Structure 1
Amino acid sequence: MENPAQEIVNVAVLVTAAVNPEIQKAAVLKYYAQDAAFRHPLCKVESGPDSREAIISILQWYRILSPLLSVRVNSVTYDEERHSVFLDVSQTFHIRWSPLRPAPARLIVHLTLRPEPSPEDPSKTVYLIAEQEDFYHPEDLTALIIPPLKPLVGAALHAATFVCKVNARVFGAFGYWSVRDGEGGRGVNLQPRGEPLPPVGENEEQELQEMPRRNGEAVADKKND
């Protein structure tokens, strides 16, 4: 990729939902580093010589399991300085032999890119995928395997939230992490802009108070110049 921000959506669709296996394999060979790593809740590939071949096998098996895989990239966040890309992806995965109705799932894909000289023109830089990490919510991961259980997993997560609320109140009543006025003898006074910074010394406080006046004088001097 010469321009990851513009090309990454097309790359993501090619490697996961290509129309035929030849295009999929060619895309992985072109856009992934030879020693690329891969992390998924259900499998893992460590970076190493020819680790890209294992990634190809995973992506191929993914398509064998779900020949009618549907993928949509909702948004892209590209950090050019850190060579990092985050994709918000929605997909519908239906196991070939499953009589169950598929359920849509959402995941976040994190790609770590590696800049290298272009093999066609060394004066140019291309970006290869050095690592891919797929992050799913529990109910979205369930949708891949047993779609009808997705609502039950969601209900279990709501139940866990209720348990947290009850436990926080019960244990707080016994003094565990309970909120009290003047915690630690310091007092907690939140400001409109958020929690205040640590206390400053008298000299520092005086400098902070004088700073707006000094800035105003500096602006006036620039205008006079």
Structure 2
Amino acid sequence: MDHPVKEIRPIIKSLTQGTPAEQQQTLETYFTPDATFAHPFCRVPSIPTYALPFLPDTPVNSRLVILFIYRWYRILSPRIDVDISSAVHDQKQNLLYLQITQAFTFFFLPVYTPRIRLTTVLHLDHRPAPHDAHTTGGLLPIRAGAGSPGPENAAVGLPANGSAS
């Protein structure tokens, strides 16, 4: 990314609302192959690229695992509304801070749509994007991403059935 604050909105939209092909293209373009991912429900460590004999045309690395997480995210919630209310780039630390609100509709409970606020921190890297990516000349690919819901979301989950426990 040349201008992270300007470029991040369509990147997040593609990851959370895009087709599988759009998600893959976005990850290949904007994430390093060894990117990490941290969320309260899952974590992906940095995994170097490996070639597996039974998948000769598919490099296996942490970026591929992150792709599977975003694909599962789209299966779990086919309708996602994401709004980035704030994006700030700390150039000295090379961090991009995002305040995100998302409406997440589970496929198995389409009448319930909780709105969740997340604070996300993306660690940007100075190395160029991978040579196999269709880059726009960006110098700051995403090396790590961590999202955490705010404390006001502690009670967000499946709707209560009216009984006290």
Asked which structure has the greater RCO (Cα within 8 Å, sep 6+), the reply is 2
Match of 2:149 in 1: 136
Q: Which has the higher strand share?
A: 2
Q: Secondary structure at the match of 1:9?
A: helix
- The one-letter code matched in structure 2 to 1:31 is Y
Between the aligned partners of 1:98 and 1:64, the Cα distance in structure 2 is 13
- The one-letter code matched in structure 1 to 2:13 is V
Between the aligned partners of 2:123 and 2:113, the Cα distance in structure 1 is 30
Between the aligned partners of 2:17 and 2:3, the Cα distance in structure 1 is 21
Aligned: 1:113 with 2:112: no
Counterpart among 73, 79, 84 of residue 68 in structure 1: 79
Correspondence list, 1:68-217, <5 A: 68-98=79-109, 100-117=111-128, 119=131, 126-140=139-153, 142-143=155-156, 145-146=157-158, 148-149=159-160
- The one-letter code matched in structure 2 to 1:11 is I
Structure 1 residue 21, shift from structure 2 partner: 1.4
Cα deviations by residue, 1:40-94 (Å, 9 ceiling, x for unpaired)? 0000001121111110000110000000111110011110111100100000111
Structure 1 length-normalised TM: 0.59
Match of 2:16 in 1: 16
Rg comparison, structure with higher value: 1
Between the aligned partners of 2:47 and 2:81, the Cα distance in structure 1 is 30
Cα deviations by residue, 1:124-180 (Å, 9 ceiling, x for unpaired)? 65111100001112442553x41x25xxxxxxxxxxxxxxxxxxxxxxxxxxxxxxx
Between the aligned partners of 1:43 and 1:80, the Cα distance in structure 2 is 28
Q: Are the equivalent residues in 2 in contact too, given 1:115–1:125 (CA < 8 A)? A: no
Q: Secondary structure at the match of 1:115?
A: coil
Cα deviations by residue, 1:172-220 (Å, 9 ceiling, x for unpaired)? xxxxxxxxxxxxxxxxxxxxxxxxxxxxxxxxxxxxxxxxxxxxxxxxx
Q: Which has the higher helix share?
A: 1
Q: Secondary structure at the match of 1:105?
A: strand
Q: Are the equivalent residues in 2 in contact too, given 1:116–1:125 (CA < 8 A)? A: no
Identity of aligned residues (%): 31
Match of 1:4 in 2: 4
Cα deviations by residue, 1:104-138 (Å, 9 ceiling, x for unpaired)? 11000100000123659xxx651111000011124
Q: Are the equivalent residues in 2 in contact too, given 1:105–1:141 (CA < 8 A)? A: no
Between the aligned partners of 1:78 and 1:99, the Cα distance in structure 2 is 36
Unaligned runs of 5+ in 2: 49-60, 161-165
Q: 1:142 to 1:96 in 2, by over 3 A?
A: farther
Between the aligned partners of 2:42 and 2:146, the Cα distance in structure 1 is 11
CA RMSD of aligned residues (A): 1.9
Q: 1:21 to 1:46 in 2, by over 3 A?
A: same
Structure 2 length-normalised TM: 0.79
Unaligned runs of 5+ in 1: 150-225
